[in-house]
């Protein structure tokens, strides 16, 4: 707890960072003007956690639990993070995937208290002054979205602010990035969703989306303002439409400290699944042939990351790209197709046009299918059976989320493949019992990747974020599996271990940052001291004393 705090009385109780509710000591209550403002009992943190657990147990719907926890975050930040860390497997699906999707859909209807900064077209020319009003002057992480492609739900406009808020909570809960250094931002350029424009409780601009030069000028102004006001800040782009996601990453990645989680984070967590699967298939990434269902920014990001891994294993760029195929709403992505979008062109290969996904599998004979279509039930029985017919251990990765958008369920993948599938999904499925075996579905979600990468950037004050950092994170994640977990054919560790795993990942990425010369702090003398550096920077959700 920072000792410089001078808040007192009701003002102190209303400040979520410093509020301890009933855990203030008698002396603190006397010195800080809290006498009479709290019940008499002096509570422990464990007692407060138990009260929250009791209250949550009476809520049957996850969206109601989401709202309750959001209110807790707004009231008592320390208790909120103490709760999340106490049981990540229980609480992360509530504060993020899959519940955050429903929360975004209902954002204007469940809104309680503002959090972060909202920038709109009306703020052109004033972005720096608006950001300057933020009370924290040392912002290290900004997650920004324009709400155009929220999860698999589409254009949600201002409702998409739930994503930056949720992502930043994961930075703290998973990897220990201190919450005071974080800032969620929404860039409001309108929405093309009629239901929102006609919703009386919608909180954003009521106009169609603006694009082109006006849009780009607004993003440029934001980037420049951040560099001037928060020079040690890393910017995470989140849930932008495909054409913006790819082009903005290429525009800024060599100039400022930034990354796109949908491209690089999704690519890295998928690569981790491939690295883990090598134990059971005997295939390196460079020996796989991958067919993507969906050809947007997520598919592009995953393909780019897998090709990067293949090149590290000795393939030439052209050889690596030849192993990645894409299938979109028009069919197999092939050379010669009219009006082929620029971000799909690197993965358009010579092949006769096909409009059937099953026929594409039979022709290309992929070892893995990756679903990033944001459309449910497209990995049909016929699709999975086709993969099982040509592969002893097919990789079935339906990565779209939330749950309503998944290409197939874990139970379907195991049953239709006769237990042969190596399965990972964008959301967490329960254990599956089939033919006398117990299968543990993996969750290939970005939450495994961006928090530890972010912690490494925070600890080293890195000037850039690179694809190599994400690939190191992927390899480290795959290497965290225990012998017992490998015997169960798991692709990822259980979420209950995510905090410990994230610390090891952050240290590995930090080591690379030092090796590549991107750090702005002095490197420790020995490699084993790097993890100590990371741990020394981590936030721990425990109350401190106000008594100096």
Rg value, the chain, Cα: 24
- Can you give the three-state secondary structure of 469-529, one letter per residue? HHHHHHHHHHCCCCHHHHHCCCCCCCHHHHHHHHHHHHHHHHHHHHHCCCCCCCCCCCCHH
Cα–Cα distances in angstroms (integers) from residue 325 to residues 275, 317, 349, 395, in the given order: 19, 14, 8, 15
Give one DSSP letter per residue of 199-257, joined into a string. -TT--S--SPPP-HHHHHHHHHHHHHHHHHH-TT-EEEE-S--HHHHHHHHHHHTTTSS
Which one from 167, 252, 275, 537 is the annotated catalytic residue? 167
Q: Write out the two tokens for 4.
A: 């410089």
Please count the other Cβ atoms lying within 10 Å of the Cβ belonging to residue 183.
23
Calculate the alpha carbon distances from 271 to 160, 390, 475 in Å. Answer: 27, 22, 8
Residues contacting residue 474 through CB under 8 Å, at least 6 positions apart: 268, 269, 271, 272, 275, 305, 309, 449
Structure tokens given for 94: 């509530």
Q: 498-515 and 88-95 helices cross at what angle (nearest 10)?
A: 70
Quick check: helix, strand or coil at residue 89?
helix
Active site residue 526: no
The 3-state secondary structure of 184-212 reads EEEEECCCCCHHHHCCCCCCCCCCCCCCH
- Is 335 annotated as catalytic? no
What is the distance between the alpha carbons of residues 149 and 146, in angstroms, rounded to a whole number? 8
Task: Mention every residue, 6+ apart, whose C-beta is less than 8 A from residue 133.
Answer: none
* List 18, 96, 275, 308, catalytic entry: 96
Question: Are 233 and 134 a contacting pair, CB within 8 Å?
Answer: no
Residues carrying an active site annotation: 96, 167
């Amino acid at each position: 707890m920072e000792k410089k705090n001078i808040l007192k009385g009701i003002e102190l109780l209303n400040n979520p960072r410093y509020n301890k509710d009933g855990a203030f000591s008698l002396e603190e209550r006397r010195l800080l003007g809290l006498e009479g403002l709290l019940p008499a009992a002096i509570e422990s943190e464990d007692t407060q956690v138990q009260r929250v657990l009791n209250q949550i147990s009476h809520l049957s719907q996850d969206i109601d639990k989401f709202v309750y926890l959001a209110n807790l975050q707004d009231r008592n930040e320390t208790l909120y993070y103490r709760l999340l860390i106490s049981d990540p497997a229980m609480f992360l699906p509530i504060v993020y995937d899959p519940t955050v999707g429903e929360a975004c859909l209902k954002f204007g209807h469940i809104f309680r208290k503002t959090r972060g900064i909202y920038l709109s077209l009306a703020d052109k020319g004033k972005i720096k002054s608006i950001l300057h009003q933020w009370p924290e002057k040392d912002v290290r992480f900004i997650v920004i979205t324009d709400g155009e492609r929220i999860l698999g739900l589409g254009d949600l406009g201002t409702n998409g602010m739930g994503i930056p808020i949720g992502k930043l909570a994961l930075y703290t809960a998973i990897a220990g990035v201190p919450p005071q250094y974080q800032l969620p931002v929404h860039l409001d350029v309108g929405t093309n969703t009629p239901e929102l424009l006609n919703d009386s409780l919608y909180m954003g601009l009521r106009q169609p989306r603006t694009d082109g030069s006006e849009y780009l000028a607004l993003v440029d102004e934001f980037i420049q303002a951040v560099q001037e006001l928060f020079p040690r800040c890393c910017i995470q782009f989140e849930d932008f439409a495909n054409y913006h996601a790819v082009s903005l990453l290429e525009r800024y990645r060599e100039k400022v400290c930034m990354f796109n989680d949908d491209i690089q984070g999704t690519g890295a967590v998928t690569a981790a699944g491939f690295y883990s699967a090598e134990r059971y298939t005997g295939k390196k990434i460079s020996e796989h042939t991958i067919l993507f269902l969906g050809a947007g920014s997520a598919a592009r990001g995953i393909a780019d990351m897998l090709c990067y891994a293949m090149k590290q294993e000795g393939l030439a760029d052209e050889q690596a790209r030849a192993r990645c195929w894409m299938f979109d709403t028009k069919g197999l992505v092939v050379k010669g197709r009219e009006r082929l979008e620029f971000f799909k062109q690197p993965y358009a290969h010579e092949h006769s046009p096909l409009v059937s996904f099953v026929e594409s599998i039979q022709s290309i004979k992929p070892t893995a299918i990756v679903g990033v279509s944001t459309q449910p039930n497209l990995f049909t029985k016929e699709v999975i059976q086709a993969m099982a017919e040509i592969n002893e251990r097919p990789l079935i990765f339906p990565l779209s989320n939330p749950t309503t958008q998944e290409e197939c369920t874990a139970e379907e993948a195991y049953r239709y493949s006769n237990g042969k599938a190596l399965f990972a999904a964008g959301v967490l499925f329960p254990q599956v019992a089939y033919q006398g075996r117990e299968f543990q579905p993996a969750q290939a979600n970005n939450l495994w990747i961006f928090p530890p990468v972010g912690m490494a950037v925070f600890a080293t004050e890195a000037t850039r974020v690179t694809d190599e950092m994400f690939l190191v994170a992927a390899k480290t994640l795959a290497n965290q599996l225990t012998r017992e977990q490998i015997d169960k054919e798991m692709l990822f560790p259980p979420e209950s271990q995510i905090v410990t795993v994230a610390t090891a990942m952050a240290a590995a990425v930090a080591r690379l940052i030092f090796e590549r010369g991107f750090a702005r702090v002095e490197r420790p003398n020995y490699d084993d001291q790097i993890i100590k550096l990371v741990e020394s920077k981590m936030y721990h959700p425990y109350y401190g004393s106000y008594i100096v």
